[in-house]
A and B are shown apart, each in its own frame.
Chain A
Amino acid sequence: MSQRSMRLQHLLHIALFAALTVALSFVRVPLPISPVPVTGQTLATMLAGLMLGGRGGALSQLIYVLIGAVGLPVFGGLGGPSALMGPTGGYLIGMIVGAAVIGWMVDGRSNVVMMVVSCIVGGMLVVYIPGVLWLSRLMVMDLNSAVVIGVLPYLVGDGLKVVLAVMLAFRLRPIQSTLRMDRH
């Protein structure tokens, strides 16, 4: 295959991953211990980083956010540019950066420990930091209470998502070789 068609194929993988992120954002599993349901959004962020690499993963999440910005109800039933400025706006930025961090940390290796660590750093930490900062700024509350409402309810679910993401990445390894641009 020519260099150009490899590139096109990579771009389309990113596009379809953005669509998969939208599909996953409709998956909701209610949590018994908290009122906030677990959604598939950050699971998609982790998988994007693991499977598409840093650049591709971040691009797929950027496209997901843009799709929400042009009006699709992909942010927990909300959409439009106003949703970006709403309380969850920070997390959306975090998802883009998070996928990049995961991709760069893992860098194509399939080392389970490294994958789990990168998902915890990129898929949880990097998503929470801008999320909480934006939340506390917008709602004019101190950081502690922002962490209580913006991080604690998600911890269990996100921990599970890390496990699920790594399991899925392993199951999907047979198709992985075609997904990463920088491998060629």
Chain B
Amino acid sequence: MLRGSITIGQYLPIESSIHRLDPRTKIIAVLAYVIVLFLISAYTGYLVMAGLTAIIAVLGKIPLRMLARGLRPILFIIVLTVMLNAVMTPGELLYRIGPLSITEEGLLQAGFMASRLLLLIMTTSMLTLTTAPIDLTDGIEYLLGPFKRIGVPAHELAMMMTIALRFIPTLLDEAERIMKAQMARGADFETGSFIQRAKNMIPLLVPLFISAFRRADDLALAMEARCYRGGEGRSRFKVLHMEKLDAAAALTLALGFSAALMV
């Protein structure tokens, strides 16, 4: 696996107006989208929501095959849901295949469920396609901010997430290095019985864990030496800004959502 590409995850690093939106706007928009999707009770509502999704995809310059790739893992579930709903719902008979009867109500219900799932997955994956993990982490920290009062450690969570993201490639490199070093000493990671292979993981994992905790200790010392004292009064290198674009997006979505709920 490519070390460099792993920490950007699904992010598609291109320029677009959706990419430029504030991560907070995008997180709230997706949450609202999901809620509206579950409140809709008419077909026309789904059409409006599909229209919104299409607009976002076009504005975000997301290639169709990327969206399709996001759907692959749940395709089976969608097909299953459609078939079960088509067969199990009682109502006016349309076709009969052996003991199975497909009803009109069943087909409608199946279409409902499938469009809901499809839109849900496509739109949520657009969030990670157009926003880098580190920006999403920033957005989460801001959005959790108000919950600090009830004991949600917003800053600490985001700090730990950022550091974990930063150290994932380092630890993967480290694991590879340890593996090579142990192989040079005659360790065998590739063959042997299943139990043998599990046991062979120990000379890899013990040094990996120790080195990870050593890094954590060094980092703690370095942060302490630079007077890190938590999120209180901290200034940021990268400050999130809401712009006109965010207002425009919020307005468009609010109109779209109300249209979807009313039709």
Contacts and interface: CB of A to CB of B under 8 A. Distances in A.
Interface string B111-131: 000000000110011011101
A81 B168 contact: no
B89 interface: no
Contacts of A5: 220, 224
B216 A171 contact: no
Contacts of A153: none
A24 B167 CA distance: 13
B229 A80 contact: no
Contact of B201 (A27, A32, A85, A172): A27
Interface in B190-227: 194-195, 197-199, 201-202, 205-206, 208-210, 212-213, 215-217, 219-220, 223-224
Contacts of A83: 73
Interface string A1-24: 000110011011111111110110
B174 to A, nearest CB: 8
B10 interface: yes
A2 B131 CA distance: 38
Contact of B209 (A4, A163, A168): A168
A81 B10 contact: no
Place the interface of chain B in its size category. 35 or more
A140 B80 contact: yes
B9 A72 contact: yes
A168 B210 CA distance: 11
Given A9-B220, A11-B159, A164 B202 contact: yes
Interface of B: 1, 6-11, 30, 70, 73-74, 77, 80-81, 84, 120-121, 124-125, 127-129, 131, 133, 136-137, 140, 156-157, 159-161, 163-165, 167-168, 170-172, 175, 194-195, 197-199, 201-202, 205-206, 208-210, 212-213, 215-217, 219-220, 223-224, 228-229
A78 interface: yes
A20 to B, nearest CB: 5
Given A80-B127, A81-B30, A86-B77, 7 more contacts: A15-B161, A16-B212, A23-B168, A63-B157, A73-B9, A87-B74, A140-B84
B8 to A, nearest CB: 8
A57 to B, nearest CB: 13
A70 B133 contact: yes
Nearest to A87: B77
Contacts of A80: 9-10, 70, 124-125, 127-128
Contact of B163 (A15, A64, A138, A168): A15
Interface string A126-137: 000000000000
Contacts of B80: 139-140
B261 to A, nearest CB: 22
B168 A32 contact: no
Nearest to B175: A23
Contacts of A87: 74, 77
A173 to B, nearest CB: 11
